[in-house]
Structure 1
Amino acid sequence: MTAWDFTAELQALEDQQLTRVRRVVEQVDGPHVVIDGKPLLAFCSNDYLGLAQHPGLIETARQAAERWGVGSGASPLVSGYSTAHEALEQELARFVGLPRALYFYAGYSTNAGVVPALVGRGDAVFSDALNHACLIDGARLSRAEIHAYAHGDVLALERLLAASTARRKLVITDAVFSMDGAIAPLPEILALCERFDALLMIDDAHGFGVLGPQGRGTAAHFGITSPRLLYMATLGKAAGVHGAFVAGQAQLVEWVLQRARSYIFATAAPALEAETLRTALQVIARDDWRRGQLQSLIAQLREGLAGLPWPLLASATPVQPLIVGDNQAALDLMAALRERGLWVPAIRPPTVPQGTARLRISLSAAHAAADVQRLVDALRELAQTR
């Protein structure tokens, strides 16, 4: 046996019910998919507004592919930055009400590159304990001193900021937490940043397009703005396409452009994606009915699942976590739903804390009320046989 034999480690994952398995999707029609020849009604996609198969977006992508081709060919700082990218960045900045935006090829790489561009040795990062892995990894890569505060605990954050003597202080938090659906107390956090001369970077991957007037995001939902705010969101969820962006003060965004290694040294996203996202922004702003449909489905699900042995966490977003607790029990519940033609993923540690394995129910405007009722009926039936 060599040091590169992972047999024991892989078996340990299997023994703890922590092995991850990819499912190969064969067909997609909104929330209806086919896997291994079996039709399933999916409650696992982050396509919150149902735009991934929107005919207008598909037609824009087709026309853009004919004009630009399917690849960018280089990094944005060489020849990968087109008029499509430039227009998208301008429209993203206007959409979220900030002076300037910078478009990245993927969400994970955005946070992994932006945080180290902002802070380094001698600086401090203050991170919510339940932040997404890309924020955590960005903080680690920065080599700044990291202070994790209890989830949503504004008083704990205040104590940490007050005690810090760091040159620069950066607070990072999910705006909507991807596994809980909880919304961060952004007004209170921003007030602390104003008080303690800190910068606030929010990751609005799960709020952009869903929350705020016309889906303009969680900051707009709270009505907050500040020169101390750096706004980040992904574009492969509610926007239905791919990529991510950061927006903020022009000088701050320029610094990120100059220093973020994941921007400088990576091939740019294809122009066809940028063009398609411009159409997506128009649909997001125009189609308020999609957000209305989501709110109706959320209310229906929460009312239908009330009183089950598995509690739903408090969430006003499309992310509705059903807490099961035990890893194997969560897997068993997922399997039982799949037998009934329903795909709801079991989420286990380390993605969520130990003892909080759950089903992450993800709703979309593409779902119908009958789809949600089917899920409710199945879970109520399974609860009776528990």
Structure 2
Amino acid sequence: MDRGVEDLLRELAPQVLGALVRRYGQFDACEDATQEALLAAATRWPAGGLPDNPRGWLVTVATHRLLDEFRSDSARRRRETALLAATPQSALLEAPVEAGPDVGGDETLTLLFLCCHPALSSPSRIALTLRAVGGLTTAQIAAAFMVPEATMAQRISRAKQSIRTSGATFTMPDEADRGERVRAVLHVLYLVFNEGYTASTGTDLTAPRLSDEAIRLTRLLRRLLPDDAEVAGLLALMLLTDARRPARTGPDGGLVPLEDQDRGLWDQHLIAEGVSLVTEALPRGPVGPYQLQAAIAAIHDEAKDVDTTDWPQILALYDLLEHAAPNPMVTLNRAVAVAKAQGPAAGLALLATLESDARMSRHHRLLATRAHLLELSGDPTAAEAAYREAARRATTLPEQRHLLGRATRLAAEAPQRHRRDGD
């Protein structure tokens, strides 16, 4: 598909769905109709050209598909009768979105809140957000997460069923609940970005489509909520992290750790934008976890190399982050900062506190970090064993190869170490 058409369809997808749901309700039926309209446009527009009113075209086609769905059996005919009683037939055949003011932004924000409803599990929120708001097809989402299309289709279907049975409506949450719902949306976008930047399974280290989509949706959310400092913080974090992506893999697709990356390959435009965002957001008031993570990323990105990185400042920010949003991954990363600022023994002592945490005790990243700090502390034999165990538990091939490569290097250096010790 033409890239310009694809980008336009993804931009219009939430506006079209929002227009249908606001007028007709029944989120699941409207979402199916919107997807069919998007597929029809993807087939016709590249060859026949864009209509004069792309958004109105999509709403009209989706409305026709919605009526076809209502007519499909007797039960749906009863729903159609109720719908027709409330809406003149002529209105259904027009582009409803053109009947009133353009409220696409409000509809998109409401749609984001609905897709991140508390009744949904985290995987369901992610899948539904990518399809309903991101405009991705089920096949595209399944490919990005490396699961069968049928599995993803079932996940999306269950999510829409949960929306229906929960009684959720297409309205903005109450003021008292809005902050929590914004945090839920931010968490979903954060998880999508992380899955794209470091895939949890498979043969590739990254899934760029997911991280690109997370950035696009977060930019959209930033336009809708320009005064929310945590939205700005999350966007800054994504940009500052994604700036390193060109240097994160070698020519063979292998993982290149931060300390070994060619910083000349980092995207300086993304870094400048991310630094500007976090600099603007931090003074606004209460500092949230996304702003703190963005500030840490900014320090890394502005340093010339690992040795000149301001590790004491990074450690101070991790101290704040662990207080604001305590979790074992924060502690894991803080242990690296402790090791850099205070020595590897101090970092290893902090890592030891995670061994009793069921979420981390057998996680390959805990073992990989321990191996790295053991190597820094001058215990290559223990480091080699930890690298091999971390590789055994890693879930992506690039991480496995990287960790085994570290272990192999230490093993190859062992005879030289033994000769040196003998001398």
Give TM-score scaled by structure 1 length: 0.23
Q: Which has the higher contact order (CA 8 A, sep 6+)?
A: 1
Give TM-score scaled by structure 2 length: 0.22
